[in-house]
Amino acid sequence: MSDFSPGQRWISDGEAELGLGTVLNCDTRSVTILFSASQETRTYNTRQAPLTRVQFGSGDRILSADGCQMLVDDSKEHDGLITYIGQDDSGEVRELPEAKLADTMQFDQARDRLLTGQVDRNDWFDLRFRTLHHHQRIEQHSALGFSGPRIDLIPHQLYIADEVARRHAPRVLLADEVGLGKTIEAGLILHRLLLVGRVERALILVPDSLTHQWLVELLRRFSLSVTLLDESQSQAHGSDNPFGSGQLILGSQDWLFANPARQEQALASRFDLLIVDEAHHLDWHEEGSGAGYQCVESLSAEIDGLLLLTATPEQMGLKSHFARLRLLDPERYHDLERFKQEERHYVEVAGAIDALDALPGDTQARTKVDAVADDRDSQALLETLTNLEASAEQHDAARVQLRDALLDRHGTGRVMFRNSRRHVGGFPERRYHPVPLALPSAYRRVVRRLARDEDYLDELLIETGMDHPDVLIYPDAMYRELSNDPLNAEDWWHIDPRINWLLEKLSDDSESGFANKKGLEKVLVIAHHRETAEGIAEGLRVLGGYHAPVFHEDLSLIERDRAAAAFADEEDGCQVLVCSEIGSEGRNFQFCRHLVMFDLPQHPDQLEQRIGRLDRIGQQHAIEIHVPTFEGSPGERLLRWYHDGMDAFSAPHGVGSDLFDAFGDALADALLDDEMLTEIVEETREMFSAKLAERDAGRNRLLELNACRPARAKAVIDAVSELDDDKALPRFVERALDIFGVDSQDLGGDVMLLSPSQQMLDGLPGLAKGEEGFSATYRRDVALARDDIQRLSWEHPLLREMMGRVIDGTMGNSALALLRHPAIPSGRLMAELVFRTHCPAPKRLHLNRFLPPTAVRVLLDESGANLTDKISFTGLSKNVQKVNKSMARDLIKSRHEQLRALLTQGEGEAERELPSIIEAAETRMRAQLDNELARLTALAEHNPAVRDTEVQALKAERAALSDAIENTRLRLDAVRVVITVDAER
């Protein structure tokens, strides 16, 4: 151990964070050191003090107590104290006694740590280099953000997510038919934007009944933890803005829309992305829009990104639909009449796209395409496609490009995405079972009187306080409202035959019953009113002893989730769940195949929403739709309208809103009149067929073509699969777990249990000392089949945390190892230097896709010869051996001068690589952005759905990226000293 003298500077080997220490006093046995920066004083035994003398040499940068930087040239020693000689930032020569070094000088850079003898374990250095390598690879990967989520790889979802997430500040309407995965698409977009840094804060607004489902889906499928905010949580934040309490805030629409003060706070809490589920409830009228619309309008004026989700965009009418499109892009959607005209033009565009398949031969097809392809690029592509001299490959390429160009330039899809079952395919059959029942006398009395007496309807409306036609369609509600009538003394469920029918079905063990040979079948019952739902549950309980939880809008969140969970439980769960209309919207009940429509909604879109609870991705069986109605009742007439007028039970057709707009009022008047109804059903049928044909030829066809471009979808799926099959992942995970102190135990079936060891480094997600840990697998299918197993991918929070800690911290940035090699004499030194690119740029530029932190390795021997290409990282790594830390420190101390020289030389060698790294990044960036810009500029000329701000933003982004890439610098990231020893020893 060196002699200590007061005033000397030393650093603690085990606690480098204490900063630079000063010897206060010493004698032969002990030395006392003051660490001023951390205000600690420590006394050590001189013979075993875990301290290293801080000595700088030529080329080192030092900092004086008065804040001056200095580059050391030389040093001199007097009475055991060093004075450094060098130049300050202005080039003046200065002398700095070591006592005047800044106490706060940190030694976390690789060079400083090495030279002050702070070395890490060899395998840490190893992990650091590998982490850099994989990080660089994954950050540029086109599937980044899509490979981690625990989802099936469904083409239309990945296509949409990829298309939307690559846009600057995406603003789109995700309008797939019910149950096709809009939540998953929104989750994928959010996940990717978060991972690439384009979004840091998101606000997700969903109906009250869906908050928990979203919370669970985001966590379970995307490993995203959201903060659920409601009024009581918000109040707990006192005067602080509650929206600042997390990066991802999930709130109920019902709560926020009714609360202007909270809206102000949401507005003030800068978000980058707003997601609004079940957006058809945002209604807009000329006379004044709804509270929800107003709230989203003001939020979306401040927030760059906006995703609106709805399966039934036109449920509240075309005007509301148009108004929501205006929220997405006010410049594009300012004129409803023009919008309608454009829709008419879609038939021609879709016809032209379909005609491409008949080219080059068909002259009629050519005329059709020619009429639409009105720009130079498209005309050139058409030339190639019709040129008989061109090869089949040239024709195919031109056909694909022209198809994309026509869709992009004249289609609908930049703002709205709608996938339908028809083209996604693979969905189960829907089977319709009407159940005619006799009207009970209590209802019959009213129906008969209504038929006899024209004025009675008005009387009934006044007496019940109900609306028309509700009073006709929902006889149980009418009965409840007339409870003063002595004939209505019994509870409605006592006299309503639908309850008995349901009870019989529940105990029926024949093939068509709900208690057949396969066991008890789950049954979802939906009724329009909350009170009806409650009455059904009571009736089932009192009359049949069935426990059927109820699910409606007035239950608390916990009660609702408890009801849904009781229904979902396969083993002990209940057989029946009774839901009200609005209470069950958006919920996932695809594990059940029997739907009982206890009554019917008035709007076809609501009918579709009901069926959508069961007809969702994941449904394994045909869906049985049971509709009990009373013979000769208004309800039965409504059913005829749905079934005979528009085949509403067979498949979603997307024209329900048009039909409701055209016939809703007349239908309400025809509910008591068979003849009138027959006419309306016929007219509805005619319009249904015509609309369907028109939509299929135009808008629907374009939406369909646009909602999933198979080649792009396949490319995304291939990219995700490549990461799924990445053999390097398990190897990396194994090393990282070992170093971070996480035990892994094989449980069989490609599942392992990850659990914390005693030595585990703290703060790893999902792992806390003393707790069990979690089961994990690399296999997507295994993770999808079992909810309790997490899927390990490069995007899993544990992996991201471990990689982040290595890259952002000092872990493994300095090491020393021994090499036994028969061909190399002992005592030789090599320096393995790893440099890393640094390129400060705002996160939102997502620079990493073109230039992620890139490692440059340089291996020098002690004579300065560059061995980088001769000895690979893995080649060397395999053969080196660890050495204990004190020996490592001594070895480093004895080679200080040599190491300094090698570090300086290494910098020069690495610098030579920089221009080619910059050039390659610039080329990659240009290749992608120039292309995108050309596409967007061409699009903007033809498709007004391209916002000018989008084009400008892309140009600005390209310029900013170019600047950032140009300013890339290399910094030493890690260094390993390798010393050869005798092979025999």
Q: Given the rule CB under 6 A, which residues bind ligand ATP?
A: 151-152, 154, 157, 176, 178-184, 311, 586, 588, 612, 616-618
Amino acid at 815: A
Nearest to 692 by CA among 661, 654, 663: 654
CB of 759 to ligand ATP, least distance (A): 38
CB of 784 to ligand ATP, least distance (A): 6
Residues 6+ apart with CB under 8 A from 78: none
Q: Is 521 annotated as a binding residue?
A: no
Residue 811 phi, psi dihedral angles, 5° rounding:
-50, 115
CB of 178 to ligand ATP, least distance (A): 4
Residue 791 phi, psi dihedral angles, 5° rounding:
-105, 125
Nearer to ligand ATP, 124 or 214 (CB): 214
Q: Is 586 annotated as a binding residue?
A: no
Please state, in angstroms and rounded to a whole number, the distance separating the CA atoms of residues 621 and 592.
9
CB of 618 to ligand ATP, least distance (A): 5
Radius of gyration of the chain (CA): 36
Nearer to ligand ATP, 167 or 616 (CB): 616
Nearer to ligand ATP, 413 or 698 (CB): 413
Q: Is the peptide bond before 360 cis (omega within 30 degrees of 0)?
A: yes
Q: Is 176 annotated as a binding residue?
A: yes
Let me know if 125 is exposed, middle or buried by CB neighbors in 10 A (0-12, 13-18, 19+): buried
CB of 326 to ligand ATP, least distance (A): 22
Instruction: Please state whether beta strands 227-229 and 248-252 pair in parallel, antiparallel, or not at all (unpaired).
Output: parallel
Let me know if 643 is exposed, middle or buried by CB neighbors in 10 A (0-12, 13-18, 19+): middle
Nearer to ligand ATP, 616 or 889 (CB): 616
Alpha carbon 860 to its chain's center: 45
Nearer to ligand ATP, 564 or 841 (CB): 564
Q: Is 28 annotated as a binding residue?
A: no
- Between the CA of residue 460 and those of 451, 654, 671, what are the distances in Å? 13, 35, 15
Instruction: Kindly state the tokens that stand for 142.
Output: 């086109």
Q: Is 246 annotated as a binding residue?
A: no
Residue 393 phi, psi dihedral angles, 5° rounding:
-65, -45
Nearest to 868 by CA among 840, 826, 902: 902
Nearer to ligand ATP, 113 or 613 (CB): 613
Cβ distance 65 to 82 under 8 Å? Answer: no
Q: Which residues lie across from 77 on neighbouring strands?
A: 82
Instruction: Kindly state the tokens that stand for 912.
Output: 């030579």
Q: Is 809 annotated as a binding residue?
A: no
Nearer to ligand ATP, 311 or 888 (CB): 311
CB of 158 to ligand ATP, least distance (A): 8
CB of 616 to ligand ATP, least distance (A): 4
Nearest to 206 by CA among 285, 145, 274: 274
Residue 542 phi, psi dihedral angles, 5° rounding:
-70, -40
CB of 209 to ligand ATP, least distance (A): 11
Nearer to ligand ATP, 220 or 345 (CB): 220
CB of 781 to ligand ATP, least distance (A): 11
Instruction: Provide the H-helix boundaries in 488-600.
Output: 492-495, 497-507, 530-544, 557-568
Q: Is 656 annotated as a binding residue?
A: no
Q: Is the peptide bond before 469 cis (omega within 30 degrees of 0)?
A: yes
Nearer to ligand ATP, 347 or 708 (CB): 708
Q: Is 180 annotated as a binding residue?
A: yes
Angle at 305 between CA 302 and CA 309, to 5 degrees: 115
CB of 577 to ligand ATP, least distance (A): 16
Nearer to ligand ATP, 176 or 408 (CB): 176
Order across the sheet with 774-777: list the strands.
742-748, 751-756, 774-777, 789-791
SS3 call for 401: helix
CB of 154 to ligand ATP, least distance (A): 4
Nearer to ligand ATP, 253 or 814 (CB): 253
Which residues are annotated as part of the binding site for ATP? 176-183
Which residues are annotated as part of the binding site? 176-183
